[in-house]
Amino acid sequence: MTREIGTVYIEDMEIGTSRSITKVIGDKEINMFAEVSEDRNPIHLDDAAGAASIFKTRVAHGMLSASLFSALLGERLPGHGTIYLAQTLKFTAPVKLGDEVTATVTVTEIIVPKRRVSLECIARVGDTVVIKGDAVVLAPSRA
């Protein structure tokens, strides 16, 4: 399967199939996310607050980087028609302004009769894992 955007029907999936997306998280993205989410924690928006934090700098909202998993599930794997059922996340390192985040989802379980697919979710900045977790979705079917 070489299609990156669109629909991968459950009948065409295999364990180990994966898709990735990469995005640079900058000031614009952080400010837009703060506006939409209404999370205006100063650690995300204020240089002085970031400098006073354990990270010594401003950091992106964890859910901003995690939202890349939603983009992957809805656009790339399984893609259009997917229904999000569950998500677990563990934030393991901060994402700082200007970091390039690569999020990857990988199929770990397929239950065709129920149209359920489980996926491992990993986000990295370089070699550093910044988020890890799992998702369960209702995948589109040809049936």
Q: Is the pLDDT of residue 64 over 50?
A: yes
Record the pTM.
Answer: 0.92
- Strand-pair category, 128-138 with 18-25: unpaired
Work out the average pLDDT over 48-77.
96
On average, the pLDDT of the chain sits at 95
Quick one: average pLDDT of 39-63?
Answer: 95
The 10 Å Cβ neighbour count of residue 78 is: 30
**pLDDT number for residue 107:** 98
pLDDT at residue 3, rounded to an integer? 46
Q: Which residues pair with 72 in a beta bridge?
A: none
133 CB-near residues (< 8 Å, 6+ apart): 66, 69, 87, 88, 89, 90, 120, 121
- Specify the pLDDT at position 134: 98
Looking up tokens 């992106």, which residue turns up?
A: 60
The confidence band for 5, taking pLDDT boundaries of 50, 70 and 90, is: confident
Taking the CA of residue 88 as centre, how many other CA atoms within 13 Å lie in the half-sphere pointing to its CB? 6
Confidence grade of residue 2 (pLDDT, cut at 50, 70, 90): very low
Q: What is the pLDDT of residues 93-131, one digit of tens each?
A: 999 999 999 999 999 999 999 999 999 999 999 999 999
Q: What is the pLDDT of residue 34?
A: 96
Q: Which residue, chain included where needed, has tokens 């997917």?
A: 82
Two tokens, residue 66? 């995690």
Of the chain, the percentage scoring pLDDT greater than 70 comes to 97
**Distance (Å, whole) CA 80 – CA 78:** 7
CB 99 within 8 A of CB 17: no
Enclosing H/E stretch for 130: strand 128-138
